[in-house]
Every structure is written in C-alpha cells, then in structure tokens.
Structure 1
Amino acid sequence: MARVLLTGATGLIGRAAARALAGAGHEVIALGRAGTSDIACDLLDREATTSATKQARASHLLHLAWHDGTRDRWTAPENLDWMAATLHLVREFARAGGERAVCAGSCAEYDWTVPMLTETTPLRPRSLYGAAKAGTGLALCAGQEALGLSIAWARIFFVYGPGEPPGRLFGDLISNLTANRLVDCTDGLQERDFLHVNDLARALLRLLEADLAGPVNVASGAAIPVRKLIEEIALQMRRPGLVRLGAVPRAADDPARLAADVTRLRHEAGFVPHYDVVSGVADVLDAEGVAR
C-alpha cells in the first residue's frame, strides 16, 4: 500500500478522499494548516512546504487544496497564489522522492461553448480560477518527465455531498427548505454532470492507483438538468411547493449544457459511479440528519 500525502483533507472532497484512501489500506498523511493535520503547513509558505514534503516521505500525492471561497473563487487573486503554490508543492514532492501525483483541476478550464467536453477539448477558461487551474495543469503535465513523476490532472466537474457550506446548491437548498422558506431558482434547464462526493473520492483513488497520466475528466458521464436535482431534494424533503423554478433569470452566458466524456476514467481507471440522483440525494439527506 502507498504512503499518500493529502492536501485539502478538511474540505468537502478531502474528507471523503481521506476515508476512501484509508479504506483501501493506504497510509494517509494530511497536510494543512488545521490542527487536525498530521503535518502542519501553510502551502503558501514555500519553505514550510519544502520542509513538509521531506518530512512526509510520501510515495504518492493527492493535491486538493486551493482557494475555496464560495463567493469569490472565480475572481479572487488568491488563485494566482495557489497556482504558484501547487507548482512548488509538486516539484518539492518529486525532489523528496515522490513517484505519483494526482492534482485537482476543473471543468472551468474548458471552452464552455462545446457541449461534450473531452480531454482534448480546447482550453478557454472564462474566469481567473479556470485560467489558474488550466495553466497549472498544462505546466505539470508537460513537466512530469523532467520531474521524474507520473502525474494525472483530474478535471473535476460538479460535485455534491453532505456538509456543503452556504453558497453551494445543496447547502442553500437544505438550509432554506428545513426552515420552510421559499427558494427562488432559475428554470434549471441547464444541464450539468453531477457526482456524489463519495463517488468522486473513489474516482480519485482509482486515478492514484492507476498509471494513466495527463488530463482526465472526473464526472459521472451523465449530464442532467439542474432542476432534476433541485426537484429531487425538495421531493425527498417533502417540501416541493417551496421551490419556485424560473423565479430567477439565468445569466445570459450560462452554458446550456456542460457534459463530460469519461471514457478515460471509465476504461483506463475502471471507475463506475455507485450513486444516481435519487440514491445520491437520499445519502446526503441521511448524512445531514434531514427527515425524509
């Protein structure tokens, strides 16, 4: 089993990833600023990062940490800081004897005018966040031979799960419906590829254990209208009348469809999701202790 250095372990994806790694028998070393980390380190501090990678003595790296502001993630200048920090972390991990790295990218890197996104779809990010992710992924994938590493760049699509903060779809819906408040939404006709966080963690585990390199779409492979997910949450919470679809206009540049081609993930990493919309929503509500 591998010794895995995990960043972002306290986040939505990181918590699920830590469980998946441990469940597969890997030794997990959590790296971060939180007091629960195995190695305390501010990844924006270059010297601390260098010291931490040496201390970790890890063979594998799963890098999930990034600026996570729910309100400003798309535009925050901190995205540039995390671009630099990620490049430094991976380089220092390689210098410390690391062998395999999986880093979190994003579907925000792509040209969103393309309805079916493959790993060869042109990168044309609309945001600073997407541009920082794209630049980081391109540099790491191009540099893996020079670094002596095997690197997979996981372009993650839309994830949901228990413990979402305000400002995210599930977090806002559950809190408002629990309080019996009306929830105004767009028409929800835009199609997105949603993946339960536990499935996402399993996909990242498969990537870490596989030998495929370069960009890999990480998604379910089934884009659905956003309203289907909204309606399922409201239905299972027995408050369908509180959701007002179409009460909020959609942004003019909101893509009608963002669908992921998951051929690489499915055939080269052997990943198939466990959850569909109904079972995924049920799992989240049960984990949140919400009556259904």
Structure 2
Amino acid sequence: MKQVLITGASGFVGRQIARSVQARGHRLTLVLRPGRFTDIGISDDQVRIIETDDLFAESTAWWLEALAGIDTVIHAAWSVVPGRYLDSLDNIDCLVGSLRLAEAARRNGVARFIGVGTCFEYRLPNERITVEAPLGPVTLYSTAKLGLYEQLEIRFKATATSFAWARLFYLFGEGEHPTRLFPTLHRKLSSGEPMQLSSGDKLRDFLDVREAGRMIASLVENGQEGPVNICSGQGVTLREVAETIADRYGRRDLLAFGSQPAHPRDPMAVVGISNLAST
C-alpha cells in the first residue's frame, strides 16, 4: 500500500484516477479546491484532503509540507477552461506552478512522479503514434505540456524519483463537459434537434475516461518510466462515432455532415499505439 498524492482529482480525468488508485488499495492525499471532495465519488476512508484556492500559486515550501510521507505523486491538475484553454496564458501559470511541485517532490525524495500530458505534444496528423513519434506542439497548451515533460525528465533523471508521463488521447464519458462532441450528440439527437457537423472524415482515437483512469492508476505499481500513450489504439472516423450514437435514437437523418467547416488546426488523423506495461 502506497500513499499517493493526486492533484486535479475532482476533474474529468482526475476523479477516475482517484477512484482507480483507491480501488487498488492505496491511501490517497488529494489537493483540491475547498468543497470539491464530494465531486469525486469515492469513500473518505483513509483519504487526506489538502485544500487550496489555487495549487499553481503555492510555493515550493507549501508543497514540501504537503508532500510529507508521500510515496507517489500523480499530477493531473491543469487549467482547461472549454473554448479558451488551448491558447490561454493560464498555461504558463500551470507550467511554473507544476515545476514548484516537482521541485518539492525532488527535495522530499518522492519515489515516483506521474505527470499527465496530451497527444497534442506529437507532430500531427499521424495515424500510428508511438512514443518515439516526432514531437511538434502547435498550441500554447500543448507547448506548455511538452515543456513540463522535458523539464521533469531532466530534473528527475539524476535522482531516485522514477518518472512517467501519461499522454492522453481523445477521452469521453462520465463527467464530460456538455459542450464536447459526445454529450452534444446525445443531447441534440435525443431531443430531435439536427446536429451540424463537418465532413466527418477525420480519424480519432477515442477512449472511455474510466479506462484512462485505470491505465494511469496502474502506473503507480508497474514502475514504467518515460512517456506512456493512454489510448485505445483504434482509429474511428467522426462520422462513424456520430452515426453510432444516432442509431441509438434511430435518427441518422438529424446528422448534417458538411454543414460546418473544419477547424483550421484540427488534424486529419490522431491515432495512438499504447505502450502501457502490464501489472
């Protein structure tokens, strides 16, 4: 049994990580905004809560105290406000604040540090993304994530702290923001509203967020180091996804493909190959 500190545990991905880590029998320390524990949906047995209004503003000294007795850190927190996070200057604050957390982990001799990155660190499009694939972020969000990965790799290399970096691909499922693709499709099709879409020919690697949480939680025990692709390894087109959901309501007629232009930075293909070691 390990003492695992998780940041961002009330978020879309973080709550699934926390649930899976607890299910594996580990003790949890959660760094949360005030009043957010009930959002996670886990037992309070053997859970320590540390509250802060802004973890990215906390000092290294604050983190040194928070990390007392911690074996493993899973850093899932980041600013991801829908519609603005890709180019938000908040990414810089997240990067700088994350480095203070990492420095405290290094000083405290934390045995394992697991960071959470993104598939957008890779050069895209790519239908076969291994962890050796070329990197090439094009947004401030992905650039900051890659910058954090590179800094942590250097900082932990000469220490006793083992370091893993979980790169998330396209996630869906419980707790997803209502403006994202899957919830929007369900909401509109179930109420008989037309759904305006691009051509639907782009290829994506979708993974249920619950499985992503389980995959990241397994990194606590398996000792794997370096980048890890958290993905399904299967590519499907957006048209296939939309038609599958529409079939649940018998309303393919509501899908208006080609009625919306594709985003200029939206890559044609993003499909990963998982290198997650088994436990």
Q: Normalising to structure 1: TM-score of the pair?
A: 0.85
Q: 2:226 aligns with which of 197, 201, 214?
A: 214
CA distance in 2, matches of 1:22, 1:249: 43
Q: Which has the higher contact order (CA 8 A, sep 6+)?
A: 2
Greater than 6 Å deviation, 4+ residue runs: none
* Stretch deviating more after TM superposition (57-66 or 227-236): 227-236
Give the aligned partner of residue 285 of structure 1: none
1:42-81: CA deviations, max 9, x gaps?
A: 212232x642452342111111100111101110010011
Tell me the SS of whatever aligns to 2:88.
coil
User: In percent, how many aligned pairs have the same letter?
Assistant: 32
CA distance in 2, matches of 1:106, 1:33: 23
Give the aligned partner of residue 3 of structure 1: 3
1:244-282: CA deviations, max 9, x gaps?
A: 2222122355322111121x21xxx128xxxxxxxxxxx
| Contact kept in structure 2, 1:105 and 1:154, CA below 8 Å | yes
| Contact kept in structure 2, 1:102 and 1:154, CA below 8 Å | yes
Which blocks of at least 5 consecutive residues in structure 2 are unaligned? 38-48
1:166 aligns with 2:178: yes
| Contact kept in structure 2, 1:181 and 1:242, CA below 8 Å | yes
Tell me the SS of whatever aligns to 2:86.
coil
* Stretch deviating more after TM superposition (204-213 or 77-86): 204-213
1:55 aligns with 2:66: yes
Q: Are residues 194 and 94 of structure 1, via their aligned partners in 2, closer, same or farther at CA, if it must alter by over 3 Å? A: same
1:149 aligns with 2:157: no
Give the aligned partner of residue 195 of structure 1: 207
Q: 2:148 aligns with which of 136, 140, 148?
A: 136
CA distance in 1, matches of 2:88, 2:82: 11
1:179 deviates by 3.0
CA distance in 1, matches of 2:106, 2:180: 35
1:117 aligns with 2:126: no
| Contact kept in structure 2, 1:107 and 1:155, CA below 8 Å | yes
Q: AA paired with 2:249?
A: M
1:1-292 counterparts in 2 under 5 A?
1-37=1-37, 38-41=49-52, 42-47=54-59, 50-56=61-67, 57-262=69-274, 264-265=275-276, 269-270=277-278
CA distance in 1, matches of 2:254, 2:64: 50
1:147 deviates by 4.2
| Contact kept in structure 2, 1:221 and 1:261, CA below 8 Å | yes
CA distance in 1, matches of 2:250, 2:18: 33
Q: Normalising to structure 2: TM-score of the pair?
A: 0.89
CA distance in 2, matches of 1:254, 1:134: 19
CA distance in 2, matches of 1:34, 1:177: 36
Which blocks of at least 5 consecutive residues in structure 1 are unaligned? 272-292
| Contact kept in structure 1, 2:122 and 2:134, CA below 8 Å | yes
CA distance in 1, matches of 2:145, 2:63: 23
Tell me the SS of whatever aligns to 2:94.
helix
Q: AA paired with 1:2?
A: K
| Contact kept in structure 2, 1:165 and 1:171, CA below 8 Å | yes
* Stretch deviating more after TM superposition (175-184 or 18-27): 175-184
Q: Are residues 191 and 28 of structure 1, via their aligned partners in 2, closer, same or farther at CA, if it must alter by over 3 Å? A: same
1:158-183: CA deviations, max 9, x gaps?
A: 11112211331122222223332211
Give the aligned partner of residue 289 of structure 1: none
